[in-house]
Amino acid sequence: MNPQEPPHARPEQQFFEDPAIDRLMGTVMALATEVFVLQSRLRALEDRLGEGGVVDVANLRADSEDQAQQAAEAKAYSEHLLRPLLGLQDALGPTD
């Protein structure tokens, strides 16, 4: 066990034949989360700039987006991000 890990840490479950894919997926999804957080922040900033006012960072971070809009964007973003996992063609092509 890595001495930096808490004493209760147990080996993570493995889903792919190569455990490297399991771990890399974790990194990919963590990055994807960060991208969505950044997108949300950027959109909030754009909204404020669009309103023509002076941007106040504290206010910018305190205000959350409209929940319904955010949920719809999260759904579309997730489909865009995860659709490749299905392994399906977008356009009809050769099957072998």
Partner 1 sequence: MHESDFAAAQAFLLGAKNFWTTNLYRELRYKYDRRIDKRDAESLTPDEAVAELEGDVTYHFFGWLERHLQRMKYTSRYGVIPYHSERRDTLTQEAGFSLQDEYAPVLNPGLELPKYYKSIDIHQHQGGLWSEITAGFAYEYGARTTTPLLGETHEDLHKRFTEYVADGVDFKRILDLGCGFGKSTRPFLKQFPTSAVHAVDLSAPCLHVASQFARKNSTRNVRYSQQDARGTNFDDESFDLVTSTMLLHELPVKSVLQLFEECYRLLQHGGRMAHLDFYILPDAFDRLMHYGHSKRNNEIFMRGVSELDLPGVLGKIGFIDIKIERFQEGVDVDLDAHEAWRFPWTAISAVKPRRAAA
Q: Does 64 bind partner 1 (CB under 8 A)?
A: yes
Residue labelled with tokens 């963590």: 30
Q: Does 19 bind partner 1 (CB under 8 A)?
A: no
Relative orientation angle of helices 19-50 and 67-82, to the nearest 10 degrees? 140
9, 46, 55, 75: residue in contact with partner 1 (rule CB under 8 A): 75
Q: How far is CA 70 from CA 7, 76, 96, in A?
A: 38, 10, 40
**What's the min distance (Å) between Cβ of 3 and partner 1?**
20
Q: Does 48 bind partner 1 (CB under 8 A)?
A: no
Q: Does 85 bind partner 1 (CB under 8 A)?
A: yes
Q: Does 41 bind partner 1 (CB under 8 A)?
A: yes
Which pairs with CB-CB distance under 8 Å and at least 24 residues apart come from 61-68?
65/40
30, 31, 45, 49: residue in contact with partner 1 (rule CB under 8 A): 30
Inter-residue contact 55 to 48 (CB < 8 Å): yes
1, 52, 54, 79: residue in contact with partner 1 (rule CB under 8 A): 79
